[in-house]
Amino acid sequence: MKKQLLLFALVVVFFFIAYAPATLITPYVKNIQNLSINHINGSLWQGSITSNHFEKLSWDINPIYLLLGQISADIVIKFDKHNHLNTNTVMGLFTDPYIDDTSGQLTTTYLQQLAPNTPIMVNATLDIQHARATWLSTDTALPQEAELSIGANQVNLLGEKIGDYQAILNYSNQTLEGKIKSQKNASVDTNITFKIDSHNVLTAKGSAQPKTQDLKEIFKELNINTKVSLKQRL
């Protein structure tokens, strides 16, 4: 009898999510600060949102996770034709919420629009190769743990093409650690490690050696040290 009741409850949940309109989430998304919603389409199972802040956010719930007491959704955010993110989000009764299998592409031009007061000296396409983050609570924006791998491709420094680079970041125990390395086609031989601890103290060491005379002149004009060794509070 208990198994039959559980099966019936699961069937009810399946049908509710599959056929309930996505507009049911309207009161919740409208409460998100600075988010302007244009349209909400589809169902709770498979739907999309359009906004002034992005072209389209779409989701597709994976039904098998419901059997485990979890909600898992594949989410795609298209900001414009050059900027997009794909991720898998999981929330459950017995597991901490997390995102995984994240990939996408962002340009520094787009990021500059989001933070117009932050100077960005380089132009590049950021290829998000892998990202994962876990939260202990949905009440905080900062995750408990996170890891991120980014490729900076076709980097342009003040009109000078300097090749491709990769950054690997890890966040745990309120500490961010990272490494930046140049790829084979890079014009600046780069190997830098850094850490930002829980007291917002940044330490970094390594080197960034330009390979061409033009780049050496640019480094000199911008007063960029080729040897990196610093420790300062942010």
pTM (two decimals): 0.78
Domain boundary among 93, 120, 144: 93
Q: Do 86 and 63 have their domain in common?
A: yes
Give the whole-angstrom CA distance, residue 175 versus residue 26: 36
Q: What is the per-residue pLDDT for 139? A: 67
Q: What is the CA radius of gyration of the chain?
A: 22
Give the whole-angstrom CA distance, residue 59 versus residue 48: 6
Give the whole-angstrom CA distance, residue 230 versus residue 206: 10
Domain boundary among 59, 93, 127: 93
- Helix H or strand E segment including 215: helix 213-221
Evaluate if residue 138 carries a pLDDT over 50: yes
* Structural domain boundaries, residue 231: 96-234
Q: Do 110 and 212 have their domain in common?
A: yes
Domain boundary among 51, 71, 93: 93
> Lowest-confidence range among 13-22, 35-44, 121-130, 144-153?
13-22
Q: How many domains does the chain have?
A: 2
Which residue is associated with the tokens 């072209």? 55
From the number of C-beta atoms within 10 Å of its C-beta (0-12, 13-18, 19+), residue 170 rates as middle
Give the whole-angstrom CA distance, residue 97 versus residue 134: 6
pLDDT digits (tens, 9 = 90+) for 85-125: 999 988 877 778 889 889 999 999 888 887 777 777 789 99
